[in-house]
Amino acid sequence: MSLLRLLPLLLYLAVFNSCSAQPDEAPTEDNSLYTFETPSRDGTGKYYLGREISHVMGHLAADWLERPERELEENVSQAIENMDIQPDEHIADIGAGSGYYTFRMAQKAPRGKVFAVDIQPEMLDIMREKIERENIDNVELVRGSETSPNLEANTLDLVTMVDVYHEISYPREMMQDIVTALKPGGRFVLLEYRMEDSSVPIKRLHKMSEGQAVREMESVGLRLRENMDNLPWQHFMVFVKE
């Protein structure tokens, strides 16, 4: 990869490390789930099932999410097709950010709804502006917390996380609530940069291996149905609620 193409990634990571979102009120730690060590260069020092949790991307990096080359680098159109979204499905995009995936998914579900969940009000404001400007009527904004997406139980056909899960501060609590929000048979789609591929130009803590993802999802009752390998940089893992 040329230095020119690497510059957006380097800028993102610089902003990422300098503007991590701060929680309104940190929940009490469960020492049976999480352990703590001296943070690595890019990590929080908080570990879950052997994985160090990374920092949260701040809203000042929203432009990086909307970069023109993202389609080429990640084949977002293919990722959306992989989701097999039905016109009337109810979907949640967790860590929606600027809504890059949210609004593309909403086009696939004209008779359904996409809940765009984020913990940062600035990200919600970015999406709200687009909703109002373009009169989008099937996207609903939801302010999540560090431990919950704040969604109703048994209401969702599909929940997605795109390059977000590795930075969730309370992954067990968050995923338990996501499983509760899924309908029986509902699917959870996890996109993460491939840890197994050293050519993916992303820092280590911002990647995940399939094995680690399966371990963490199985702990909350989700089963891996398939890991589609048709994206340039990312795992596309489909888990199901049984």
pLDDT digits (tens, 9 = 90+) for 114-132: 999 999 999 999 999 999 9
Alpha-carbon gap, residue 53 to 43, rounded angstroms: 6
Question: Model confidence at 60, in pLDDT bands (50, 70, 90)?
Answer: low
Residues 121, 29: Cα–Cα separation, whole Å:
24
Where does the pLDDT of residue 59 fall: very low under 50, low under 70, confident under 90, or very high at 90 and above?
low
Task: Evaluate if residue 109 carries a pLDDT over 80.
Answer: yes
The whole-number average pLDDT for the span 51-56 is 94
- Percent of the residues in the chain that have a pLDDT greater than 70, as a whole number: 84
**What was the pLDDT predicted at 161?**
98
Q: Say whether pLDDT at 42 is over 80.
A: yes
Residue 13 has pLDDT above 50, yes or no: no
State the CATH number of the domain containing residue 64: 3.40.50.150
User: What is the signed CA dihedral for 144, 117, 93, 235, rounded to 10 degrees?
Assistant: -60
Cα–chain center distance at 116:
11
Total structural domains within the chain: 1
**Average of per-residue pLDDT across 130-147:** 98
User: Is 26 a residue whose pLDDT tops 80?
Assistant: no
pLDDT of residue 67: 83
- Among 96, 135, 93, 97, which Cα is nearest to 114's? 93
pTM (two decimals): 0.87
9-17 contact pairs (CB < 8 A, 24+): 9/201, 9/202, 11/64, 12/57, 12/61, 12/64, 13/42, 13/203, 15/57, 15/58, 15/60, 15/61, 15/64, 16/55, 16/57, 16/58, 16/61, 17/42, 17/55
Range of the domain at 62: 3-20+29-241
